[in-house]
Amino acid sequence: MPYPRVLVITSCTGEKQSKPENQLVLADFKNADRLQKREAELADFSTTAGAMYTGMQHLQLMEGVLQWRGALGQNAVDLSILSAGYGLIEEDRLIVPYEVTFNGMKGHEVDGWARSLGLHDAFEKAIAPYDLIFLLLGENYLRSLTLPVETRPDQTLVFLASNSSTRFIRTLAAKTFILPLSNADAKRYRYGLVGLKGFLFKRFAEAVCKDAELLKAVYEEPTVFQELIDQQETQLELSMGVSVSAAKKASKQVIKPPAEDYLAIPPCPPAPNVHLGMQYYIPEWDDRVDPNYDFLTDTLTPGRDPYNDIYAHEIYPSPNYDGILVSKVVVDESKTKRARVEAAGGIHEFIRFPGRIMGDCGAFGYIKEEVPPYNTDEILEYYENLGFNYGVSIDHLIVGPFAQPGEREKRYEITLKNAEDFIQKHRELGYTFTPMGVAQGWNPESYANAVKEVIGMGYDYVALGGLARAQTKEIVPILKAIYPHLKPHVRLHLFGVARIEAIPVFRHLGVTSFDSASPLRQAWLSDTKNYHTSSGRFFKAIRVPPTERGLKVKRALENSSVDLETFKRYEQEALNALRQFDLGKLALEAVLESVAAYSMLVESQEEQSSPEALSKYQAKFENPYRELLQEKPWNSCGCSVCKEIGIEVVLFRNNDRNRRRGFHNTYTFYNRFKELLYQISCTSAPQLNSKDLVCHI
């Protein structure tokens, strides 16, 4: 037989890419109308299910899946996720952050909610087309499937499960192998029990990448699965790829990341438009701060008008981006904002930015609509009246469930028809802004055809949409397909993509501008990459949530016998300790102890003295905090924010700190981007394609 068709089913994790305070809860999922409204509120945080979860099991699993696909092809393995909110969903399903889990539910609650989600039937239907199915599920997630389901003797199921959950795996017609995992196994494999299932699957995937015939062996005799993972060399993989023995030797050293690995320059001449250079735009989402915020008392300027708060380009001597992208859905989010923009005299005056401003419609805001909610006439007037430098035609996204045959072709035609209508009326009516035509697609060929058509309409600025959540290795083939259609005068923009390691390739293949708020938003949305440095190193910001507001403290108070005044005292002691440390008046261990006391109070609902709570805290917080405080990167940063507020920039606490840290991240990214462009301009293409730029596609 050919290689077995493989499906992996894993569970959702509590750790997610974004954690807004108003994420979905169980009640939202129980009402379809309410769910639709709440999802719209959280649209800015939407991403695919595969990218949403950041728990250790999921991250390890995804590493294995990506290696597998890299070796055997994109369709070699499929992935579904058992979500306690959304049900059994495919990897590319667009979802928003939520806070629902089967863990902690009582048995009857699991059973009832699983019935509402239709998990038993969904699971039976999902596995039917596959030969070899791997299940990485915890106890209540296995229970929610209500096994047994109908399977076939020519199918093989491999369960990675805890000892206690194996009772939910009932007799199946398929060949079945259960690998029960316990703390003893975590110790044996030298990996934490929480992420062990994903770690072991990745180990199996690595073996498959070396010898694909192993798939047939496991399909025919599933016990081979355990033999394979036991044969692999046991190694605790740190983020730097350091083995256990090496880590012990380096335990007292600060491990620094390697130099940036850049993608290889393709073996073709530079695109004909490469002389146009490359610019970075940042999306505008009301990212402002109070210029007179008092960090010691955590108070805003009395009587301040939030619209008079300042942007990053008003803090730095020169803007930390080349231009700004403003979406219509953002301008129109409230009547007050739209009125203020118009009253100010236009978009430049409102944002107080003299440089280039690009406008688009904000397609993610209406992604679920059958057709875009705007027409060309009103959008042309909007761009002209508000004074945009560039205006983007009306597009319709082709991503996730909207990239299915039938739907994708319809959206493709809508986007091209709008582009043609847009440029024709732009010419006829003599508008002064530069028109940009959007190309949407679902594979390299469709994108290339769209770009060819848009250029043929007369556009000299083309934008690629729908790639914000695509992997770089998916984007590069699209750019290669577009490359032959580019002309010396045509500029090419990438919506929502900023990858420093891909800049040389993007520029070589004709990208002349791109936009992304990732460096900014990682300041408060990332779990670990909150503070960026010019060396490419990232640090976790120190969580000191304010007691007077904030969901975490409120929940901690509800689940604690400690009163509010005690919380406040611990909070102030932690802040004072950090500030004294920054002044050189307090030792590292003392400040860590003070921060730990408050963090344990907020983060842990267990007994504060329990070994489990302490171990969890040390892994997630104390070790990253120690590394940050030892390094003191804010002291060596020359940016205006770090110079002005010092250690406050690395405190994860509120908007006026978190956004300033985002401004610093954007400043750092922009400087690295400009330095890289300068390096490229001083280096010939053959040199860039050598050891300096290593291919990791």
Interval 124-142: pLDDT, tens: 999 999 999 999 999 999 9
CA nearest to 8, candidates 149, 156, 110, 153: 156
Bridge-based pairing state of the strands 6-11 and 77-83: parallel
Question: Which of 481, 411, 405, 493 minimizes the C-alpha distance to 449?
Answer: 481
DSSP state of 271: P
Q: 163: pLDDT confidence band, cut at 50, 70 and 90?
A: confident
The percent of residues above 70 in pLDDT, for the chain, comes to 90
Measured over the CA atoms of residue 153, residue 159, residue 163 and residue 167, the dihedral's sign is negative
For residues 438 and 492, what is the distance between their CA atoms, to the nearest angstrom? 10
pLDDT value at 690 more than 50: no
Give the whole-angstrom CA distance, residue 126 versus residue 438. 36
Q: Where are the domains of the chain?
A: 6-248, 274-524+667-688, 536-636
pLDDT at 612: 67
- For 430, the token pair is 């003599």
Residue 554 binned pLDDT confidence (cut-offs 50, 70, 90): confident
644-657 tens-digit pLDDT: 999 999 999 989 99
Residues 6+ apart with CB under 8 A from 409: none
Q: Which of 226-240, 425-439, 472-486 has the lowest mean pLDDT?
A: 226-240
Token output for 592 = 């860590």
Give the C-alpha separation, 324 to 387, whole Å: 13
Q: Please list, in sequence order, all residues whose beta carbon lies within 8 angstroms of the beta carbon of residue 48, skipping any fewer than 6 positions away.
A: 91, 92, 93, 94, 95, 400, 469
* pLDDT score, position 692: 37
Residue with tokens 């696909």: 69
171 vs 623: CA distance, rounded Å: 45
- Indicate the pLDDT class of residue 614, thresholds 50, 70 and 90: low
CA angle at 57 for the pair 71 and 501, rounded to the nearest 5°: 55
Which residue, 39, 140, 113, 126, is CA-closest to 81? 126
CATH entry 3.30.70.20 includes domain 274-524+667-688: no
Instruction: Please report the pLDDT score of residue 3 as a whole number.
Output: 87
Q: Which residues are catalytic?
A: 360, 515
Among 491, 518, 514, 492, residue whose Cα is nearest residue 502 = 514
- 176-215: b (≥16 Cβ within 10 Å) or e: bbbbebeeebbeebebbbbbbbbbbbbbbbbbbbeeeebb
Considering 36-45, 262-271, 483-492, the range whose residues carry the highest mean pLDDT is 483-492
Q: Collapsing DSSP states into helix, strand and coil, what is residue 588?
A: helix
| Rounded CA separation 144/106 (Å) | 11
Instruction: Share the mean pLDDT of the chain.
Output: 88
CB atoms inside a 10 Å sphere around CB 21: 9
Least confident of 204-208, 564-568, 584-588: 564-568
Q: How many residues does the chain have?
A: 697
- Structure-token pair, residue 201: 């699957």
The answer to pTM > 0.85 is no
**Residue 516 and residue 632: Cα distance in Å, rounded?**
27
Q: Per-residue pLDDT for 668 more than 90?
A: yes
Q: Give the residue from 554, 607, 600, 680 showing the smallest Cα distance to 263.
A: 680
CA 467 to chain centre: 13
- CA pair distance 82, 137, nearest whole angstrom: 8
Compute the average pLDDT of residues 549-572.
Answer: 77
> In the prediction, which pLDDT does 604 show?
59
Sheet holding 156-162, edge to edge: 87-90, 77-83, 6-11, 132-136, 156-162, 175-181
Q: Are 629 and 259 in contact (CB under 8 A)?
A: no
Asked if pLDDT for residue 672 goes beyond 80, the answer is: yes
R_g over Cα of the chain: 26
The CATH topology of domain 6-248 is Rossmann fold (3.40.50)
DSSP E strands in 405-560: the ranges are 434-439, 461-464, 491-494, 513-515, 531-532, 538-539, 542-543
Q: How far is CA 377 from CA 423, 426, 437, in A?
A: 11, 9, 15
Q: Omega of the bond prior to 546 within 30 degrees of 0, cis?
A: no
What confidence tens digit (pLDDT) does each residue in 241-270 have? 333 333 333 333 333 333 446 788 888 899
Give pLDDT, residue 19: 82
Cβ-based neighbour number of residue 433 at 10 Å: 18
Q: Is the model's pLDDT at 564 over the cut of 70? A: yes
Residue range 565-583: mean pLDDT, rounded: 92
- pLDDT of 239 above 70: no
DSSP state letter for 527:
S
Beta-strand relationship, 87-90 and 77-83? antiparallel
> Token pair for residue 501?
């390691």
Contact in structure between 401 and 39 (CB atoms under 8 Å) = no
DSSP 219-242: HH-TTHHHHHHHHSPP----TT--
Written as six digits, the tokens of 292 are: 């007179």
**Average confidence (pLDDT) over 269-296:** 94
Tell me the C-alpha distance between 165 and 444, whole Å.
Answer: 44
What are the counts of helices (DSSP H) followed by strands (DSSP E) for the chain?
30, 20
